[in-house]
Amino acid sequence: MRTNDEKRRTASNRPDRRLTRLAPTSASRTQAGARERPPPRDPGRVVRFFPPPSSEGCEQGSYLGISVEQLVQLLAAAAKTPGPGTAAALQGLQAAALAASQTEFTRRAVERHGKHLDIASRLEHYSQAISRIAGSLRPLVDQDSLAYQRYCELTMQLYETAPTFTTRDAHWRLEVACARALEVATEIPIAICELCYELVELSLDLLEHGCTSSAGVAVGAALQAQAGAELALNVSQGNLESERLGPDWKQERQHRLQDVRIRLVRTRRRVEQRLYADLSYWDGERSML
């Protein structure tokens, strides 16, 4: 029977199993620390992007340079881009076109029949505002798609190359690049939302004080702009849920969106009250608002 001293000496000479488990093998030494990449999360998953295609007369690719049928097919292709942000900007552009049309109808009514004089002095301001909004929305149609594609590509690169990083510095730099790309991809739909809201207010003013014979054009402009704003709002809120964004940066954008969100509720009520004013749905007791 062994004594306690003999047992201690035997235990001290025995290799630690934990260290043996963690010790590098000869194969890993010859590969100088190279690691095998992990398998993809879903081997059957294909991530597709359809960036703005090149078209005749455009130095750079643009969704606005292709036919409506081609654009609809791209939106229906179940790809990462183009997506709802691009669709929201397109709705804003359509609303701007309808608002410009209503402005022109009202100007003709003022010149020919002397009607709508209360709004005549503001028509030039409306025309300039519509041109400015449309000019701001036009590049965002493509920029939203390109920004989100950039973020997705960096995210995939981070996942695929993370096992090969030899220093924390390289991993950190790529994480920062992902966060910056997500910030850009979030700022664009926020800008689309704010521009569309501005267009809703302008369209409602034209609806209330503009040419009555073309009121349907103003209603269409208001509804299109409202839909574009709400769609861009939803996209922005989804992006802001990411943990990659800094808390201060995220909080500031959330406050901006909350402010626009409250105003969009009010404009939607104004549009619906105009459309459904003859229904008992809007009486004081049964109103769902």
Per-10-residue mean pLDDT of the chain, 289 residues long, equals: 58 45 38 40 57 59 86 87 92 96 90 72 89 95 92 86 68 88 95 96 91 90 95 94 91 94 93 76 49
Reduced to 3 states (helix: H, G, I; strand: E, B; else coil), residue 81 is strand
Q: Which run of H or E residues covers position 144?
A: helix 123-161
Residues in CB range of 163: below 8 A, 6 or more apart: 35, 36, 37, 38
Tokens representing residue 236 in the block: 């922005």
Tokens representing residue 252 in the block: 């500031």
Per-residue model confidence (pLDDT) at position 111: 83
Residues in CB range of 138: below 8 A, 6 or more apart: 64, 93
Yes or no: say if 198 and 68 are a contact pair by the CB < 8 Å rule: no
Per-residue model confidence (pLDDT) at position 178: 92
Helix 215-240 × helix 84-113 angle, to 10°:
160
Per-residue model confidence (pLDDT) at position 113: 75
Yes or no: say if 43 and 53 are a contact pair by the CB < 8 Å rule: no
* DSSP assigned state of 284: T
Yes or no: say if 199 and 92 are a contact pair by the CB < 8 Å rule: yes
Q: Give just the sign of the alpha carbon dihedral 119, 132, 92, 214.
A: positive
Residues in CB range of 148: below 8 A, 6 or more apart: 80, 81, 83, 85, 185
